Structure formats: structure tokens, C-alpha cells
Chain A
Amino acid sequence: SYDLTQPSSVSVSPGQTASIPCSGDKFGHEFACWYQQKAGQSPVLVIYQDTKRPSGIPERFSGSSSGNTATLTISGTQAMDEADYYCQAWDSGVMKFGGGTKLTVL
């Protein structure tokens, strides 16, 4: 099996840029995607195929991937972006999630 590693927490000031990395040795030949989960709610897809944004997701959310690390970036972070964020990948019939990053906007 393989693991996806994320920091457990990231803090950012309102209006600043938040970056959440996710490392995994499958990146490079497998796409990463990202989910936002607010307290008491179901996850919401915010980035897929490394860089694509689903309809309805604000432009301040972007994704990138280089080497073994995928990164979710939130530009001009707003208070409403405070949530848990999970990266996810698929390899050989197994779907894997990162452990999740709690984004605090303070």
C-alpha cells in the first residue's frame, strides 16, 4: 500500500495565501484531487486531475503537482474557507486519502 502525507494543520490570515502540500510516491503518474469538508458536512470536491476546478468552486482555489507532491493553494483566503482539506489519489484498484489538514483562518 502507499500513504499520502499532509500536515495536520495550517494557519493563515484572512486575505493571505494558504498552501497545503500532499506527498505521495504515486504522484507523477497518478492524479491528485482535493476535498473540502466543513464541520458536520459531507466532503466537497474542490480540485481534480491535479489542477482542474469543478463548476461552482471559487477561482481562489487552485492545484498543482510537481514530483511527489501535490499542493492545494487558496489565494485571498476567506473565513468561510476554514475547514478540513483532504488529498486523494488512486493506484491499482485502491483509493487513498491523506490524513487531512485543518485550515484555520485567524
Chain B
Amino acid sequence: EVQLVESGGGLVQPGGSLRLSCAASGFIFSDYDMHWVRQAAGKGLEWVSGIGFAGDTYYSDSVQGRFTVSRENGDDYLYLQMNNLKAEDTAVYFCAREGPEAMHYLDVWGKGTTVTVSS
């Protein structure tokens, strides 16, 4: 079964850091681009970051310079290092797999991990 499981969320103070992890299983992780998408309570989906299977990275303007996406293909893990966190980063963070052939749609999603930035 294809599966993505996020972890690492929690409560952090403004200015703090947090590292999210996403464990992939049921598919050849190294063949796929991966993304992080977040959703604040009661709000819509917001793309955060993406990483190609070869390691090229992409970021939204709202997190550029503060967040770093990475992957460990040998262990089938995706990561999101979040620094200098702000209240507006509070959200559920989803890990998602991009479909094949660089068509830029997300065909598999995890259940999400919650990040709360508050003093």
C-alpha cells in the first residue's frame, strides 16, 4: 500500500525551529518529486515547498529563506526544516507525492502533522 506518514509537529515559540519528517512506503521513493502543503485551521491549501527526485528544490515566497526541504532516498524520508517560525506558520502540514512524468499534480497525501507557533 502506498503510504505517507508525517511526524514532528508540535508547539513551538515564535522564532523557534522544528523539523518535520515524512516516511514513505509502498513505492520507489527515489523516482518521485515530493511536496509539503499546509492548511491553517478553517483555511485553504497552501503549497510550501517541493523537491525533485534529483534534489532540486522549490519554495513559496512565504517560507523562502526560513524553510529547507530535503530528502533521504536511501531511507525513503522527506524532511522540512522550519526556522524562524512565525504565528502565521501555524497549520496542518501535509506531505504529498507528485504524480509521474513531471505533470505537477499530487496523487498521494499523508494525514498531516500539526504545527502550532505560539508563546
A-side interface residues toward B, CB under 8 Å?
1, 31, 33, 35, 37, 42-45, 48-49, 54, 84, 86, 88-90, 93-100
Contacts and interface: CB of A to CB of B under 8 A. Distances in A.
Given A1-B61, A94-B60, A54 B47 contact: no
A77 B51 CA distance: 37
A49 B103 CA distance: 7
A99 B109 CA distance: 19
B104 A94 contact: no
Contacts of A96: 47
B105 A49 contact: yes
Size bracket of the B interface: 20 to 34
Contacts of A54: 107
B99 A48 contact: yes
A103 to B, nearest CB: 14
A102 to B, nearest CB: 10
Nearest to B92: A42
B94 A97 contact: no
Interface string B108-119: 011110000000
B106 interface: yes
Nearest to A89: B104
Contacts of B58: 93-95
Contact of B112 (A42, A86, A89, A95): A42
Interface in B33-65: 35, 37, 44-47, 50, 58, 60-61
